[in-house]
Amino acid sequence: MTLLYFIIAISLLVVIHEFGHFWVARRCGVQVLRFSVGFGKPFWSFTDKHGTEFAVAPIPLGGYVKMLDEREAPVPEHLLDQAFNRKSPWARIAIASAGPIANFIFALLAYWLLFVSGTSGFVPVVGTVADDSVAAVAGVRSGDEIVAVNDHETTTWQEVSWQLVGFLGEDADIRMTLKSADGTQRSTRLQLNNWLTDQEVPDPLAGLGIEPRRLDIPAVVGEVQPGGAAAAAGIQPGDHVVAINGSAVADWYDWVEHVRAAPGKALQLTLKRNDALLDMTLTPGSKTLDDGSVIGFVGAGVVAPEIPSDWVRTSHAGVVQGLLLSVNKTIDLVVFTLDSLWKMLLGDVSVKNLSGPITIAKVAGDSASGGLEAFIGFLALLSISLGVLNLLPVPMLDGGHILFYLVEVIRGRPLPERVQIIAVQFGLFLLLSLMLVAFYNDISRL
């Protein structure tokens, strides 16, 4: 299913991107020879009345629009006026920029749909604050609701994280507005220094020492995976874990912590099953995390708790308000993407945050499992990333072509062919280097 959702996401965004090039090229009078989704030899295609071949190829990592161009093949005399290279620089700029613009338009419409249909999230109430953390020093307390960050209203934990993530790698003074359990509001300031610069997967909340409030979940087993340590020990759904090694188990979180801390170590359990107490021995398996640490796991799932209605906040926007919110959201994400890339260049944010197809596939599957709202939000975010990256002034990308055409406008003639070839070779080297880093990061996370 992860692979399926990855193919759906990439194929959809490629079609949108390439359709932008295709649509503007047709309006500029350029003959489009092929519109391909995927790379390699097409396994399905058809040709329309304009002579354009629409194809689907087996490698779903991109796509392309091939246009009539004298630089690639001889063009018949009667078709010269439809050749891409014969069009004005401004027409070529419009065609090159149309793909990224199509990605931004898709993101804008996706966010508009989400805002109008309604978005929901957990109310940002603090559960615990780590001792001597940034939040503790600032006076953040358990039970506080985070009302605003730097005067930006935060109605859900997603909005809190979004406001914080822009400070990664910075020295900053964040103003946070809090509402106590009795309803009184106060402001505090959080001091950040090179915040989470060296973190491979930075967590803004954990970086402040804040943990969201958690539901009280009893240590009752909801499901047991066949072949796991829990099944081997004889644990059954409905069992209530009362004690481990003679120590009482407070709740599900306590039970999980005991298991995680004991990879390969025998645990003496006391369970309650049908009002009877049972003793058994459980030996958790071992799992290695991304950071190299080893934890225990047993293959037991929790009974899904019922979430109180006042823990969730849902908002619906009108048609016009939703459009304004989606425009602001799209602009914010474009700025954030550019800012993150700049911070990586400066070393303020680790390059380990770069991700490739494997991570994209994993996130696609995770977001799809979270429901339609989460998957559409993922598509919008990925579409913006695709648009921004393609507009970077790097040869081989749309932004590199646009740069060439702008130079042609200024000079009154194209750059020398040798200069363009060298620039393209440099761009190819840069892109391959980034791809290698992204693949390495992907594989190291497996």
* Residues with active-site annotation: 18
For the chain, give the number of residues: 446
Beta-carbon contacts of residue 105 (< 8 Å; ≥ 6 apart): none
Give dist(CA 217, CA 207) in Å, integer.
Answer: 25
Give dist(CA 139, CA 141) in Å, integer.
Answer: 6
Q: Are 275 and 284 in contact (CB under 8 A)?
A: no
Q: Are 396 and 403 in contact (CB under 8 A)?
A: no
DSSP state of 58: S
H helix or E strand, kind and range, residue 422: helix 417-445
- In 347-397, where does DSSP find H-type helix? 357-369, 372-391
User: What are the tokens at 351?
Assistant: 């390059």
Pairing of strands 32-39, 59-67: antiparallel
Give dist(CA 386, CA 357) in Å, integer.
Answer: 13
C-alpha 198, offset from chain centre = 20
C-alpha 403, offset from chain centre = 29
